[in-house]
Amino acid sequence: MESPSPTKNRSSALPAYLMTLAATLLVFCGGTELGWSSPAIMMYDSPESEAPMHPTDRQESWIGSLLTLGALMGALPAGKLADVIGRKPTLMIIPFPLMIAWGIIYATKSVMWVCAARLIGGVALGAMGTVIPMYVSEIAEDSNRGLLCTFYELMLTSGILFTYTVSYFASYRILALSCAVPTAVFLFAFAGAPETPLYCLKKKQRKKAEQALRSLRGKSYDPEEELQSLEGTLKQPTSSMAEFFRALRTKEAVTATIISLGLMTFQQITGVNIVVFYLSKIFNAAGTKLDTRTCTVGVGFAQVVANILSVSLVDKLGRKFILQISAGIMGASLAILGCYFLKKDNDDDVSPWGLVPVIAVLFYMVAFEFSWGTIPWTMCGEVLPDNIKGVVFGISVCLNWSLAFLTINVFLILVDKIGNANTYWLMSSICALAALFATFVVIEMKGKCFHQIQDELEEGNLSI
C-alpha cells in the first residue's frame, strides 16, 4: 500500500481551534456566574435599584460563596460521568443547571432561592472545570495543546467582563436573562462538535475515532499514525490506589505534590475571589468619586488583556519568575489598599487619593491573571508524575474550590471583626508568603521536558 504523502497527511489546526472555541463558550457562561455577584450585590445594597430583595451582609456572603461550594460538589462527579457517557454528552448536559439557576434568580424574591440558584449554578461551574480541560487536551495536537488550554482562563475572564459590562446598562432581572443567553449559544455552537478520539478508542469505537480525527485535523488528514499512538497510550497499565501510595513515597512525587497543592492553596488564599465577588462593594466602601460600575468594567477589561499577554509571555519569561514578581505586585497593591482604608476609616480626608483604590485593585487583578490565575493549573500538569497525576489533580481541584468557598465566606466577617485595613494587610502578608513559596519551593520548568523536570525533583535541588 502506498503511504500517504506529507501534503496529504498535513493536518489543519483551524478545526481544533474552532472546536476549542465552541467548547470554551461554556467557560464564558461560567465567567458570567463568577462576575454576577459583584454587580448584583451593588444592586442589593442600593435602595434605588430594582432588585427584589435587600439581603444582609451575612446573606450576601452566602450568595457569593455558595457558588464555590456547588463547584466543589460538581467537580469530581462530572469526571466520572464523562468517563461513562462521554466528554461531549456531559458538556451538553452542563448548560441546563445554568439555565435553571438563572431562571430562579430572574423569578424569585427570596434570598433562600437565590442561594439555591447559586448552589445549582456552582455544580455546573465545577463540572465544566473538570470536563472542558479534559475535552480540549484530548482534541489538541502536541504542537498546539498548550495554546488551546489557555482558552479556558481567557474565556472565563471574558465572561466576567461581559457581566460587568451588561450590568452597567441593565436592571437586575435583565442582567440574569442576559447571563442565560450564552448557554443557549453554547448548545447551538457545540452541537456539531465530535467526541474526543481518545474516548472513542476507550469504548472500542475505532471508526468513530477516525471520523473524529478527520473532523479535527481536516478531511485530507490520514489519522492512522495518530490512532496507533493513542492506542499505545491506552495499552499502558492503569495505576491502582496501592500503586499510587507506593509511588508517593518517592522524593520527586512528594515534592511535586507539595508544589501542586501549594500553588492551588496560594491561588485562592491570596484573595482573588474576594476581589471578583465583592469588587463593586470594595469600590463603594472606598468612597471613590469615580463611578463604581465604570471602575468595575475597567478591571474586568484589564483581566482579559492580562490573560492575552500571559499566553505570549509565560514561556519566554519563565513560570517561576512571573509567579515571584506577580506575588510581589499583588502584595504591594493590597498593602496600599489597606493604607488607604486606614486613612478613610479614621475619617481622614482621602478625596485627593480617590484613584488609589482603583489603581491598586487594577494592578492586583492584572498581576493575578498574568500569573497565579493560569500558571498553577499548567504547572500541575507539568510537574506531577503520571502515576500520581490523576489522584493528586483531583485533590487539587477539591482543595481549590474548598478554599474559594472559605475565603469568600470569611471576607465580610474579617472586615467586620478586624476592619478593612487589617483585612487587606492580612491578604498582603499571604501574598508575601506566596512569593517565598515561588522562590524556595517551585522549580523553573521553562524549556524543560518532563524527564528533566522529574530528574530535578529527584535530585532535590530545592531550597526547602
Report residue 381's pLDDT band, with 50, 70 and 90 as the boundaries: low
The verdict on 177 and 249 lying in the same domain is: no
Q: For 246-266, what is each residue's pLDDT tens digit?
A: 767 777 788 888 888 999 899
Asked if the structure places residue 326 within a domain, the reply is yes
One domain, residues 182 and 304: no
| Residue bearing cell 431562571 | 103
Range from 1-15, 170-184, 383-397 carrying the lowest mean pLDDT: 1-15
Q: What is the pLDDT of residue 31?
A: 93
Q: Does residue 234 fall inside a structural domain?
A: no
For the whole model, what pTM was predicted?
A: 0.80
Contact 104, 113 (CB under 8 A): yes
Same domain? 173 vs 272: no
Residues 6 or more apart in contact with residue 326 via CB below 8 angstroms? 367, 368, 370, 371, 372
pLDDT confidence tier of residue 2, bands split at 50, 70 and 90: very low
Whether residue 217 lies inside any domain: the answer is no
What percentage of the chain carries pLDDT values higher than 70?
86
Ramachandran assignment for 444, one of left (phi > 0), alpha (psi -120 to 50 degrees), beta (any other): beta
Q: How many other C-beta atoms are found inside a 10 Å radius of the C-beta of residue 54?
A: 14
**Cell digits of residue 388:** 500520581
Nearest of 267, 294, 274, 266 to residue 420 by alpha carbon? 274
Task: Let me know whether 269 and 332 are in one domain.
Answer: yes
| Planar angle of CA 300, 313, 451, nearest 5 degrees | 125
Note whether 287 and 359 are same-domain residues: yes
298-309 pLDDT tens trace = 888 888 888 787
CA distance to 23, 117, 175, per residue, from 41 (Å): 30, 15, 12
Last residue of a domain, one of 176, 193, 210: 193
Task: Domain count for the chain, please give it.
Answer: 2
Quick one: pLDDT band at residue 321, thresholds 50, 70, 90? confident
Query: Phi, psi at residue 84, to the nearest 5°?
Result: -90, -50
Is pLDDT of 428 > 90?
yes
Tell me: do 160 and 66 sit in the same domain.
yes
| Final residue belonging to a domain, choices 193, 217, 249 | 193
For the chain, give the mean pLDDT.
Answer: 83
Burial class (CB in 10 A: 0-12, 13-18, 19+), 27: buried
Report if residue 212 sits inside a domain.
Answer: no
CATH of the domain at 395: 1.20.1250.20
Q: What is the number of other CB atoms lying within 10 angstroms of the CB of residue 232? A: 9
Instruction: Give yes or no: residues 389 and 255 share one domain.
Output: yes
* CA distances in angstroms from 345 to 1, 45, 269, 350, listed in the order given: 81, 20, 24, 10
Same domain, yes or no: 244 and 134: no
Q: Examine the domain organization and report whether 286 and 174 are in the same domain.
A: no
Q: What is the DSSP annotation of 40-82?
A: HHHHHH-TTS--S----HHHHHHHHHHHHHHHHHHHHHHHHHH
Assigned domain for 218 exists: no
At 88-141, the pLDDT tens digits run 999 999 999 999 999 999 999 999 999 999 999 999 998 998 888 888 878 877
The answer to the question of residue 397 being in a domain is yes
- Domain presence at residue 5: no
Which pLDDT belongs to residue 114? 95
What is the rounded distance in angstroms from the CA atom of residue 234 to the CA atom of residue 265? 32
Helices (H), 346-449: 356-370, 375-383, 386-440
Q: Are residues 326 and 393 in the same domain?
A: yes
Least confident of 64-78, 260-274, 398-412, 443-457: 443-457
Confidence tier at 1 by pLDDT (50, 70, 90)? very low
Per-residue pLDDT reduced to its tens digit, 208-243: 888 888 888 877 777 777 777 777 766 555 555 666
Residue 75 belongs to what domain range?
Answer: 12-193
User: Does residue 201 form part of some domain?
Assistant: no
Q: What is the mean pLDDT of residues 267-292?
A: 77
Instruction: Indicate the residue among 171, 193, 215 that finishes a domain.
Output: 193
175 and 116 in a single domain? The answer is yes
Asked if residue 359 and residue 253 are part of one domain, the reply reads yes
Question: What is d(CA 111, CA 282) in angstroms, rounded to the nearest whole number?
Answer: 22
E strand intervals along 219-290: none
Q: How many CA atoms lie within 13 A of 415 on its CB side?
A: 20
d(CA 298, CA 91): 31
- Number of residues that this document lists for the chain: 464
Whole-number pLDDT of residue 314:
66
